Every structure is written in structure tokens, then in C-alpha cells.
Amino acid sequence: MTELLWWVFASLAIGGALGMILGRSPVASLMFLILTFFGVAAIYILLGAHFIGAIQIIVYAGAIMVLFLFVIMLLNLGHDYEKDLRSVGWMAAGFAAAGATGFLLTRAFLPAGSVPDMGGDSMIAAAVEQYGAVGAVAYPMLQEYVVPFELTGLLLLIAIVGAVVLAKRRI
């Protein structure tokens, strides 16, 4: 059952990605991208990462995509599809580069057992049993990784100030 659902959501994600890179207008591309994000969120949940799946939907499909949609509609884009696509040479180069990237990444992953199993599945199951789905992620984040966590907060603050400075006409 999990296997079948995985295939459904994986094809949803790939279809959404294809629709995005070939979409005729930026809004259509964005809607396909949201489809991809939902597919990926469902795959996170199938992989057992429930909290990350919820975060994916709230932050990506919610906040970031609304920001994109807002900018697209603010700038009133999307009337020149032909100008938007690059020339045939670029397309051939693009598909060749992507094919090489995909082949190399797949080649690195594919031999079965190339990922050493260090018992992560049972460790996660034990942590979820003890702390719950959110706590299992939160405890290591706020203990071992507390410095990166605080730095992320600082980064977000800098991003807010930077966005205001860049987008404001006159400060």
C-alpha cells in the first residue's frame, strides 16, 4: 500500500515539475510547482517524517508560494511565452546537462546497499515513541544544533532587513 501511494505521489511530483518548466504563464508554472510540493510533502510523510511534511506544506506551499504569487500579480507578468523560452541550442544543452546530472546522481545512489544502514529507522522510531513527532526533531535541534538554530534566526532577520532595503523606493 505504501509502495503504491509512493508511486502515485512520485508521479504527481514529476508531473508537476514538468508542468512547471514548460508552463505557459508564470501563474500556471507556480500552480504546478505547488502540486510538486504537495507530492513531495506526501512522500516525506510516507518516509516517516511527519513533522517535516507538515512544515513543507505550511512554509513552502503556504508562505513562499503566496510570496511568489503576490510578486507575479504585482508585476502583472506572463504575456510573452515565446520570448521566455531560450533558443534550440540552449534547450539541447539544457537537456544534455540535466540528463548528465540525473544520470550521475542516480548512478551514485542506485547500487542497492550503497547507502550504509546505520539503524536510523529504529532510532527515529524510538525518539518518536519518547518525545512525539515534533519533539523527535526539536530535541536534537535545540540541544546539539542550537548554534546553527540561532544563526538561522539571525539569517532570517538579515533577510527581512535586506528585502525591505532592496524593494523600497526610498528609505
Partner 1 sequence: MLLTQSLVLSAILFSLGVVGILIRRNAIILFMCVELMLNAANLAFVALSRAVGIEGQVFVFFVIAVAAAEAAVGLAIVIAVFRHFESVDIKNFSLLRW
Q: Does 8 bind partner 1 (CB under 8 A)?
A: no
CB atoms within 10 A of CB 37: 20
Please report, as residue ranges, which positions from 39 to 58 form the binding site for partner 1 (by CB under 8 A). Answer: 40, 43-44, 46-49, 51-52, 55-56
CB 127 within 8 A of CB 139: yes
Of these, 95, 130, 132, 170, which contacts partner 1 (CB under 8 A)? 95
| Segment (H or E) for 102 | helix 88-109
Q: What DSSP character marks residue 47?
A: T
State the angle between helix axes of 146-167 and 120-143 in degrees (0 to 180), rounded to the nearest 10: 60
Here's the x/- map for partner 1, 72-91, by CB under 8 A: it reads as x-xx-x-----xxxx---xx
Please report, as residue ranges, which positions from 148 to 167 form the binding site for partner 1 (by CB under 8 A). Answer: 148-149, 152, 155-156, 158-160, 162-164, 166-167
CB 44 within 8 A of CB 55: no
Q: Does 101 bind partner 1 (CB under 8 A)?
A: yes
Q: Does 132 bind partner 1 (CB under 8 A)?
A: no
